[in-house]
């Protein structure tokens, strides 16, 4: 039976921990097993990409498979073909499909009518592949999932939503700070009210206090208009040396990239000794390898 990865909570606690472990094992493996030999991954991207596209293409290559990249404008979706019909057809050609688009409902429809695994490469609502990578990175940094205080500061966007899902699924201690008017998805905010291990606040200093992991993202997601008013609202939420001092002295800093240096994060922090931003970016490859191996490989089992 096929399995999709549209949300973090599509996987159980056991599955997430196995994927994290497998990604770190693959990172140490000089010659990965060619478990995807003869398999083909399709990639439909309506949004620009560096890390997501390249990591998936290289992951398929390293596992013995092949990837086909399609900009959305080069498919019949751009002329009105439904995601349902697209899913029905592409399921007959491909072994899995990564989609990077705007509306979450589009990828949900695609998954409903596809017989192959559908992977969410990013929507406006969720970014599960990135948050799975972030979990890999913090475990690599010897931050145990069970007793690590994670802090997310910035826009209440797809990253925030996927972090909330990760915290709900894994029982993570998560503090979130967003400016007023830029909160995460309202349904998720309602859910976290029942969980004392997840804090939402409009105060970045409250959120970052004694945190072990600090995460942020750009203030303007793809497709959003640049607004000076929004920039002013977000200035107190910048990850800089002053704010970082309030975290745990051994805290690590993450950013999913691309970074707008001088806005959501300063050069001193992103290039500083506590930054794992570029190791985090490197881990996209090994996380995608583990994910593809699990979803597309002949045996959905990892030791």
**pLDDT tens track for 77-105:** 888 899 999 999 999 999 999 999 999 99
Q: Is the pLDDT of residue 303 over 70?
A: no
Mean pLDDT of 219-242: 90
Q: Distance (Å, rounded) from C-alpha 252 to C-alpha 214? A: 6
Burial of 261 (0-12, 13-18, 19+ CB in 10 A): middle
Say which residues have a Cβ less than 8 Å from residue 217's Cβ, sequence separation at least 6: 154, 155, 157, 159, 160, 255, 256, 264
pLDDT per residue as tens digits for the range 157-195:
999 999 999 999 999 999 999 999 999 999 999 999 999
Return residue ranges of the chain for CATH 3.40.50.1370.
8-127+284-296, 142-275
The CATH number given to 142-275 is 3.40.50.1370
Q: Which residue has the tokens 């998805």?
A: 185
Which residues are tagged catalytic?
A: 100, 127, 130, 217, 256, 284
227: pLDDT confidence band, cut at 50, 70 and 90? confident
Q: What CATH class is the domain 8-127+284-296?
A: alpha beta
Question: Is 0.85 surpassed by the pTM of this model?
Answer: yes
Which ranges of 141-185 does DSSP label H, i.e. alpha helix? Answer: 158-170
How far from chain centre, in Å, is Cα 243?
24
Q: What are phi and psi of 110, to 5 degrees?
A: -60, -45
Helix axes 128-140, 158-170, angle to 10 degrees: 60
């Amino acid at each position: 039976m096929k399995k999709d990865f549209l949300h973090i909570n599509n996987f159980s606690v056991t599955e997430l921990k196995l994927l994290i472990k497998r990604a770190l094992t693959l990172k140490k493996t000089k010659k990965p097993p060619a478990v995807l030999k003869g398999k083909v991954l399709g990639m439909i991207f309506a949004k620009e990409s560096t890390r997501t596209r390249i990591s998936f293409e290289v992951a398929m290559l390293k596992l013995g498979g092949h990837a086909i990249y399609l900009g959305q404008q080069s498919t019949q979706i751009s002329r009105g073909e439904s995601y349902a019909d697209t899913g029905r057809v592409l399921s007959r050609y491909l072994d899995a499909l990564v989609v990077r688009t705007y509306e979450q409902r589009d990828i949900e429809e695609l998954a409903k009518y596809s017989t192959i695994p559908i992977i969410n490469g990013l929507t406006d609502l969720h970014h599960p592949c990135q948050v799975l990578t972030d979990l890999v990175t913090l475990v690599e940094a010897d931050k145990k999932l069970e007793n690590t205080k994670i802090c997310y500061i910035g826009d209440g966007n797809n990253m925030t939503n996927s972090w909330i899902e990760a915290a709900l699924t894994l029982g993570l201690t998560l503090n979130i700070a967003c400016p007023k008017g830029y909160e995460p998805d309202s349904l998720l905010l309602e859910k976290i009210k029942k969980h004392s291990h997840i804090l939402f606040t409009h105060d970045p200093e409250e959120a970052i206090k004694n945190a072990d992991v600090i995460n942020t993202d750009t203030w303007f997601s793809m497709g959003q208009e640049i607004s000076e008013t929004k920039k002013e609202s977000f200035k107190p939420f910048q990850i800089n040396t002053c704010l970082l001092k309030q975290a745990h002295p051994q805290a690590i800093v993450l950013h999913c990239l691309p970074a707008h240096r001088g806005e959501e994060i300063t050069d001193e922090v992103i290039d500083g000794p506590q930054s794992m931003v570029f190791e985090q970016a490197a881990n996209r490859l090994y996380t995608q390898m583990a994910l593809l191996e699990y979803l597309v490989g002949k045996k959905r089992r990892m030791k």
